[in-house]
Amino acid sequence: MFEALSDRLTDIFAGLRSKGTLSERDVDTAMREIRLSLLEADVNFKVVKEFIGRVKERSIGSEVMQSLTPAQQVVKIVHEELLRVLGEPARLTIADTPPTVILLAGLQGAGKTTAAAKLAHQLRKQNHHPLMVALDVYRPAAIDQLIALGKQIAIPVYSEGTKADPVKTAGNAVQHARRSANDVVILDTAGRLHIDERLMKELRDIEQRVHPHEVLLVADAMTGQDAVNAAREFHEAVNLTGLILTKMDGDARGGAALSIRSVTGVPIKYMGTGEKTDALEVFYPDRLAQRILGMGDVLSLIEKAQQNITEDDAKRLEKKMRTATFNLEDFLQQMQQVRKMGPLTQLLEMIPGMRGAVKQMGGMPNMDDREVKRIEAIITSMTRQERHDPTIIDGSRRRRIARGSGTSVQEVNQLLNQFREVQKMMKQLTSGKMRIPKRLMNL
């Protein structure tokens, strides 16, 4: 979502680094370009004005002008001010006496029902026992959708049907959770327009009935400033405690994420980064700021890897890298594991310095199920000897592999070329020629 903004800021800082010293005029020029970049990213204009004012004031002070690395100091100041805009990390409140009641509100089409399932899935991984409650009796098939998602992730759903009173259903659901030992209750309320007073009253009645520990607004990050306006309206109506920004994997400008905390005072607690039920991330302001400034996000990458790769697999891969015995079978296994972690482009951009490399390569395609199945078909059509020593694969072997996998010779050639590039990269990693953080190398 922040690709365009990150590229612009990277270019601006590169221009500053090319200067040995910075004059006030240099700072003015850079601030003007940063201001335009933020406004084009749909950041609220008041937030941009205050942000640029603070950065400029600090940048023309002695901490930059007298520094041996003035450009680096400006980057440091921008980073610190971004953190100020994004606010402190905010975590989900868990009640001392269960159940913890979480009320989800939001506009129509923001992805609230899916967000309920994602949140339940994440809480269960943290050893909670959530119960999802279907309170949207207005949207056709809304209850059926939540029930289907519940079956998909094996989490119970409480519903009293489309004829029930949502306020009474919410109260009954909390009582049911106490009897069933569900320590978290997630209330999926009806999607609404903020100008719909009848539904807003229903939301306030539910809040007064169950006294939720969290009232989270599910906002579509791709709607830009409309998400900020909606957050303000909902906060005035029901006193929000946090936000879940959905569709953060989209290609919109992303200004809502940089504006919403400053404008509303409500912290972002989660980000939706995909359609699958595991595509929900805890919001870390410092990590988002690092991504925007092209600094990577090693901590998030390590967390994703730890969730999808076992310690034994990591040790085995590390040994193969050291001994240069990494083969096509290992290549397929690694692609399957990486696919579980998310789009390849996003993962590469979490590594400091890799964003520029990805741009030079013209971008990397997302590794979807069809791509992995095609690669799997090609590799499994090879003999054991060919998988372990691809150098023996000549023209006749390539034609046989293509026929066996239902692909073309060109696709077989493409895979072999990709594998050779991976081998080169691994040689650079093991020889220390590739600048990757040490702890990521160890992982």
Digit-coded pLDDT (tens) for 148-201: 999 999 999 999 999 999 999 999 999 999 999 999 999 999 987 666 788 889
Given pLDDT bands bounded at 50, 70 and 90, which one contains residue 299?
Answer: low
Q: Are strands 268-272 and 280-282 parallel, antiparallel or unpaired?
A: antiparallel
Whether 339 has a pLDDT exceeding 60, the answer reads yes
Residue that wins the pLDDT comparison between 6 and 360: 6
Q: Please state, in angstroms and rounded to a whole number, the distance separating the CA atoms of residues 72 and 61.
A: 14
The pLDDT value recorded for residue 152 is 94
| Burial of residue 392, with CB atoms counted within 10 A of its CB: 0-12 exposed, 13-18 middle, 19 or more buried | exposed
Digit-coded pLDDT (tens) for 209-266: 999 999 999 988 887 777 888 888 888 888 899 999 888 877 566 777 788 888 888 8
The pLDDT value recorded for residue 16 is 81
Q: Which among 429, 78, 118, 442 is positioned nearest to 249, based on CA atoms?
A: 118
The pLDDT value recorded for residue 437 is 46
Residue that wins the pLDDT comparison between 143 and 299: 143
The pLDDT value recorded for residue 436 is 47
Q: Which among 279, 173, 135, 270 is positioned nearest to 216, based on CA atoms?
A: 270
Whether 380 has a pLDDT exceeding 60, the answer reads yes
Helices (runs of H) and strands (runs of E) counted in the chain: 22, 8
Give the three-class secondary structure for 354: helix
The pLDDT value recorded for residue 66 is 61
| From 93-102, 236-245, 333-342, the region with the lowest mean pLDDT | 333-342
- One-letter amino acid of 225: Q
Residue whose token pair is 């520029």: 356
| From 132-141, 271-280, 397-406, the region with the lowest mean pLDDT | 271-280
The pLDDT value recorded for residue 24 is 84
Six-digit token string for 232? 């303000």
Distances (CA, A) of 372 to 24, 333, 378, 419: 53, 10, 10, 14
Q: Please state, in angstroms and rounded to a whole number, the distance separating the CA atoms of residues 36 and 173.
A: 49
The proportion of the chain whose per-residue pLDDT surpasses 90, expressed as a percent, equals 35
Distances (CA, A) of 192 to 117, 147, 240, 315: 19, 20, 15, 51
Residue that wins the pLDDT comparison between 322 and 356: 322
The pLDDT value recorded for residue 443 is 36
Given pLDDT bands bounded at 50, 70 and 90, which one contains residue 394?
Answer: very high
Which residues pair with residue 106 across a beta bridge?
218
Mean pLDDT, range 283-298, rounded to an integer: 73
Given pLDDT bands bounded at 50, 70 and 90, which one contains residue 205?
Answer: very high
- H-assigned helices in 381-437: 384-388, 395-405, 409-431
Q: Please state, in angstroms and rounded to a whole number, the distance separating the CA atoms of residues 435 and 426.
A: 12
The pLDDT value recorded for residue 31 is 92
Whether 308 has a pLDDT exceeding 70, the answer reads no
The pLDDT value recorded for residue 441 is 40
Mean pLDDT, range 347-372, rounded to an integer: 57
The pLDDT value recorded for residue 49 is 92
Mean pLDDT, range 49-65, rounded to an integer: 82
* Domains of the chain and any CATH numbers: 3-86 (1.20.120.140), 100-284 (3.40.50.300), 298-442 (1.10.260.30)
- Average pLDDT score, the chain: 81
The pLDDT value recorded for residue 328 is 85
Phi, psi of 220 (to 5 degrees): -80, 110
The pLDDT value recorded for residue 442 is 42
String of DSSP letters for 23-46 = -HHHHHHHHHHHHHHHHHTT--HH
Whether 100 has a pLDDT exceeding 60, the answer reads yes
Cβ neighbors of 358 (< 8 A, separation 6 or more) are: 345, 348, 349, 364
Query: Is it true that the peptide bond before 99 is cis, omega within 30 degrees of 0?
Result: yes
The proportion of the chain whose per-residue pLDDT surpasses 70, expressed as a percent, equals 79
Digit-coded pLDDT (tens) for 109-143: 888 999 999 999 999 999 999 999 999 998 878 99
The pLDDT value recorded for residue 241 is 93
Please give the model's pTM, rounded to 2 decimal places: 0.69
